[in-house]
Structure 1
Amino acid sequence: MQDWGGTSRPEPVAVLPDLAGKSVFITGGGSGIGAALSEGFLRQGAKVAFVQRTDATPFVEEMATKHGERPLFIPCDITDTDGLRDAIGQASAAHGEIEVLVNNAANDSRHATEDVDEAFWKWSSDINLKSYFFACQAVMPAMRAARGGAIINFSSVAYMMGLGGFPIYTASNAAITSLSRGFARELGTHGIRVNTVAPGMVITPRQQELWLTPESVQEHLKQQCIPTALVPEDIVGSVLFLASDMSRMITGQVIIVDGGVAFSNA
């Protein structure tokens, strides 16, 4: 990945002992932010399983070389609800019932409102919202039985900033925040915490390939309180914290990780 505007990768320093041995399931955990999350949990000694539509075998091998542990990669299209449920079942059989769910996978493909048809609407909302609901639904019974668990759903500051160019994506972002808060209320009596992480502009290879230019990054950095470009590793700490007992009384909240662009309680 090219270095645009100070995109150095921070080295992890915190150790959260209660995450060791935890059964963690991550959607989209083999690339971009998801890959950083998978590695972050592996560093903590967690048992990591993740799904992704594209082949993540090279990433799995890289993690095995670096950490001596292979995350469990389960090929899956998260818009296939039965397939997603089956993947969660496979992860539970391999690592024990899911204790931490991270709904990270999303697709922020740009689209003009006038070009959207029902097929695109369904495809986009299936990825960006439906999969979140059904992944949560799938892990709830075991978490209820265990009287605890942590669910972290990914949104974005895009809807908080009123950004245009991808209205189904931003609508899904807002819905995810509401979904998390509703689940937090529903599941809190069972000791299950549900929170949202909303990243800002994170420099990933995909974003560099499709949307970003050095000029657009520099223009965005002018809006940040901390004028340093975010990289996937900058998101990991907040997710680990929300997965850990360190945040045992935090639920229904939105953690914004954007260098200080959006100031919102939305």
Structure 2
Amino acid sequence: MTTFSPNPDVPAAADAARASRYAGLSGRKVFVTGGATGIGAAIVAAFARQGAQVAFVDVAAQAAETLSQQLADEGCPRPWWRAVDVKDLAALQGAIADAATAMGDFGVLVNNVASDDRHTLESVTAEYYDERMAVNQRPALFAVQAVAPGMRRLGGGSVINFGSVGWQTKNPDYPCYAIAKSAVNGLTRGLAASLGKDRIRVNTVTPGWVMTERQMRLWLDAEGEREIARNQCMPDKLLPQHVANMVLFLASDDAVMCTAQEFVVDGGWT
């Protein structure tokens, strides 16, 4: 039986119980950017249900509180959260520092935050370009900068950056988003060697078209359904929990020798 979940982006506890268990994640400190809705909420929930101690930031304060309360009601460790606009790098790094003071050093960082707002080449101004990079590109590097000293104290850690198949499949509707997301593998590979000396692993998770509430509300129509059927090898819709499962693996000790790699979860689209 499926337990009712007030947040449609978060799988119910009964469904999550079927996920793999990673004993080493129990008690591990995890920080997630953009953790209140969509894929981020599924990641926060997946870690909490593993017994991890999770902190996250998001601009959506009500959704963040709802998620945090829901997980506490399930008996999971209640996530720490703060309403933060990641364009404000001082606020982002301040939240990471405050969460680490409250919880301890983070062994896992998930750079999930992003916004795939549609736009055309002709509409882009310098100001808009900078704003898109401030959401989709800059926060990842500065979040790594903030957590790396704590990971070194712990003797290692896992950084999981989020890419997108959107630019790989040549989606024409968001050139600024494509630029930002195509840079993620550069960040991953550019940090892997220097951080690897301290046993800090850096990988990219690249989702396909994930059926979050936002995607279904804004973009999924009859043609979109046909596009999924044409392009995915798998017949089922890609859900946030499918992506969260990959994140759990990369955060776990089972992935101890995985670094500088891209892990694609797209149902075979690319």
State whether TM-score is above 0.5: yes
**Counterpart check, 1:39 vs 2:45:** yes
Deviations 1:27-56 (A, max 9, x none): 011110011100100111100000001112
Amino acid at match of 2:183: A
Identity %: 41
Q: Does the CA contact (< 8 Å) of 2:69 and 2:78 recur in 1?
A: yes
Bigger drift between 166-175 and 213-222 goes to: 213-222
**Counterpart check, 1:125 vs 2:133:** yes
Structure 2 residue ranges without an equivalent (≥5) = 1-6, 9-14
Which of residues 176, 197, 200 is equivalent to 1:192? 200
Q: What is the number of residues matched between the two proteins?
A: 256
- When the two structures are superposed, what TM-score results if normalisation uses the length of structure 1? 0.92
Q: Which has the higher contact order (CA 8 A, sep 6+)?
A: 1
Amino acid at match of 2:52: A
Amino acid at match of 1:185: A
Q: Does the CA contact (< 8 Å) of 1:217 and 1:229 recur in 2?
A: no
Structure 1 residue ranges without an equivalent (≥5) = 3-8
**Counterpart check, 1:144 vs 2:152:** yes
Q: 3-state SS of the aligned residue for 2:231?
A: coil
Q: 1:67 to 1:145 in 2, by over 3 A?
A: same
Amino acid at match of 2:265: V
Q: How does 1:1-266 map to 2 (within 5 A)?
A: 12-55=18-61, 56-262=64-270
Q: Does the CA contact (< 8 Å) of 1:103 and 1:132 recur in 2?
A: yes
Q: 3-state SS of the aligned residue for 1:113?
A: coil
Deviations 1:10-69 (A, max 9, x none): 753311001111110000111100111001001111000000011121121111112343
Q: 1:12 to 1:177 in 2, by over 3 A?
A: farther
Amino acid at match of 1:95: M
Q: Does the CA contact (< 8 Å) of 2:19 and 2:245 recur in 1?
A: no
Structure 2 CA distance for aligned equivalents of residues 124 and 249 of structure 1: 33
Q: Does the CA contact (< 8 Å) of 1:200 and 1:261 recur in 2?
A: yes
Amino acid at match of 1:167: P
Q: CA deviation at 1:228?
A: 1.2
Structure 2 CA distance for aligned equivalents of residues 141 and 82 of structure 1: 17
